[in-house]
Structure 1
Amino acid sequence: MGREFVDLFTTWADSYDQSVSGHDDEYREVFERYDDILNTVAEKAGNVVLEFGVGTGNLTKKLLERGKKVYGIDPSAPMREKALEKLGDSVSIQDGDFLNFPLPDEPIDTIVSTYAFHHLTDEEKEQAIGKYGKLLCKGGKIVFADTAFADQEAFKQMIIEAKERGFYQLAEDLEREYYTTLPALEKMFTKHGFSVTFTSLNRFVWLMEAVKQ
Structure 2
Amino acid sequence: MTAPATAPHDHSQPYATIADSYDRLLDWSSRNWDESPRTRVGDFLDTLWAGRDEPVRTVIELCCGTGAVLEELAERGYTVAGLDRSAPMLEQARARLGPAVELVRSELPDIPAGAAYDALISVGTGLNYLASPDDFARTLESMARTVRPGGPVVFDLLSVRMLTVDAVEGFAQRPIVEFDDSSFFWTYEHNAAEGYCDLTYTRFQRCPGAADELFTRTRELHRIHLRERELVERLARQAGFTDIAVYDNYAQRPASEETQYEVWTMVAPS
**Could you tell me how far 1:103 is from its partner in structure 2?**
1.6
1:180 is aligned to 2:227: yes
Indicate whether 1:112 and 2:115 are aligned.
no
1:145 lines up with 2:156 in the alignment? yes
Matched, 1:13 2:35: no
Q: Secondary structure at the match of 1:7?
A: coil
One-letter amino acid matched to 2:14: L
Of the structure 1 ranges 75-84 and 42-51, higher mean CA displacement relative to structure 2 is found in: 42-51
Structure 2 residue aligned with 1:126 = 137
Tell me: CA distance 1:190–1:5, structure 2 relative to 1, closer, same or farther (3 Å). Answer: farther
Structure 2 partner of 1:194: 241
Residue type of the alignment partner of 2:157:
D
Q: CA deviation at 1:6?
A: 5.9
User: How far did 1:169 drift?
Assistant: 3.0
Please name the residue that 1:209 is paired with. 265
Match of 1:38 in 2: 41
How far off its partner does 1:5 sit? 7.0
Give distance in 2, aligned partners of 1:211 and 1:13: 32
Contact 2:153 2:265 in 1 (8 A): yes
User: Does residue 98 of structure 1 match 2:108?
Assistant: yes
Q: Is the Cα–Cα contact under 8 Å of residues 249 and 263 in structure 2 kept in the other structure?
A: yes
Shift of 1:12: 2.5
Deviation at 1:183, TM superposition (A): 1.5
Residue 11 of structure 1 aligns to a residue in which SS?
A: coil
Work out the CA distance in 2 between the residues paired with 1:89 and 1:164: 41
| Equivalent residue, structure 1, for 2:95 | 85
Deviation at 1:60, TM superposition (A): 0.6
Deviations 1:113-168 (A, max 9, x none): 11211110322111110222234343212111231236xxx743335434653648
Number of residue pairs aligned between Structure 1 and Structure 2: 203
CA contact (8 A) 2:163 2:197 kept: no
**Aligned AA (1:21):** D
| Structure having the larger proportion of residues in helix | 1
Instruction: Verify: 1:29 aligned to 2:33, yes or no.
Output: yes
* Compared CA separation, residues 163 and 57, structure 1 to 2 (3 A): closer
Q: Is the 8 A contact 2:38 2:72 kept in 1?
A: no
Distance in 1 separating the partners of 2:34 and 2:12: 20
Compute the RMSD of aligned alpha carbons: 2.8
Please give the alpha-carbon distance, in whole angstroms, between the structure 1 residues aligned to 2:37 and 2:231. Answer: 25
Q: State the alpha-carbon separation in 2 of the partners of residues 38 and 193 from structure 1.
A: 25
Aligned amino acid, residue 267 of structure 2 = V
The structure number with the bigger radius of gyration is 2
Gaps of 5+ in 2: 1-9, 50-55, 176-184, 191-195, 199-223, 251-258
Structure with a larger share of its residues in strand: 2
Return closer, same or farther for 1:155/1:88 CA change in 2, 3 Å cut-off: closer
Q: 1:158 aligns with which of 144, 163, 166?
A: 166
Q: Deviations over 1:20-50 (max 9, x none)?
A: 112x69x82152x323443145424621222
| TM-score, length-scaled by structure 1 | 0.81
Distance 2:20 2:90 in 1: 12
Gaps of 5+ in 1: none
CA distance in 2, matches of 1:145, 1:12: 22
